[in-house]
Amino acid sequence: MTLPFTTATTGERTGTARHYLMCRPEFFTVSYSINPWMDPDAGADTARAVQQWESLRQAYESLGHTVSLIDAVDGLPDMVFAANGALVVEGRVYGARFAHAERVSEGPAYLRWFAERGFETLEASFTNEGEGDYLTLDEMILAGTGFRTDVAAHMEAQEFLGRPVVTLRLVDPRFYHLDTALFPLDGRNVAYYPEAFSAGSRKVLERLFPDALIASAADAEVLGLNAVSDGRNVVLNAEATGLALELKRRGYEVVPVDLSELRKAGGGPKCCTLEIRP
């Protein structure tokens, strides 16, 4: 059960305490390329990635959220991107089935973590990458396709979770997961970058969310939309300055973080964060 925050600040918006699963990037590196952000020749600094990740974890805990940890696995450098590991709704866990061979072993590792703790789990029959392509709102789940997740997985998730699933097609390979191009502001509204979506999907978003926050190309291109909101506080990449100003204008508290090292693999705050919804 989630409970309203008690804070010293005042404002119309309230946040709810969340439970997140994260994975310390002990073995993080950029040794292969499966998206346009990754350059193995440039590599990555593991120690710096760990420091930045620890700052993200501390930010969540300072906001009153609970953070659980899954052990990192040597040889799985992208396991830090916990959001891709599963989708959890009302205590039911729909497992990930990764599109690329380099990440295939992550799915069973995450599903095993949940099974060992008594969650009801389903091993996916179709390719999907967890919360990377599934974003949960109060009345629906928005689901991305086009690069990593099969539309058939959308239907499988809907059957297992009993929530309406709305398919959205991604068309720009820089925004290979839904969570790189859109994030829920709360349970009813979203922020997104229209050019990441097909024409039909843009119309769907316009219809569903007429008051959405529309992000600029500049903010999208620093993965500003790979953000995490609890309904009041929004944790996002520090470089997304225009998005931060608009969020403040709408009454949100902005918590900027530096995840520049993890962005070398195409990740940001949301990629590192799998929400456990009881």
Catalytic residues: 177, 271
- Residue 62 contacts residue 80 (beta carbons within 8 Å): no
Q: What is the DSSP letter of 122?
A: E
Can you tell me the distance from the alpha carbon of 199 to that of 117, in angstroms, rounded to the nearest whole number?
42
- Residue 189 contacts residue 209 (beta carbons within 8 Å): yes
Q: Where are the alpha helices (DSSP H) in 116-173?
A: 151-161
Q: Which helix (H) or strand (E) holds 228?
A: strand 228-229
Give me the residues paired with residue 170 across strands.
197
Can you tell me the distance from the alpha carbon of 199 to that of 141, in angstroms, rounded to the nearest whole number?
20
Instruction: State the CB neighbour count (10 A cutoff) for residue 40.
Output: 11
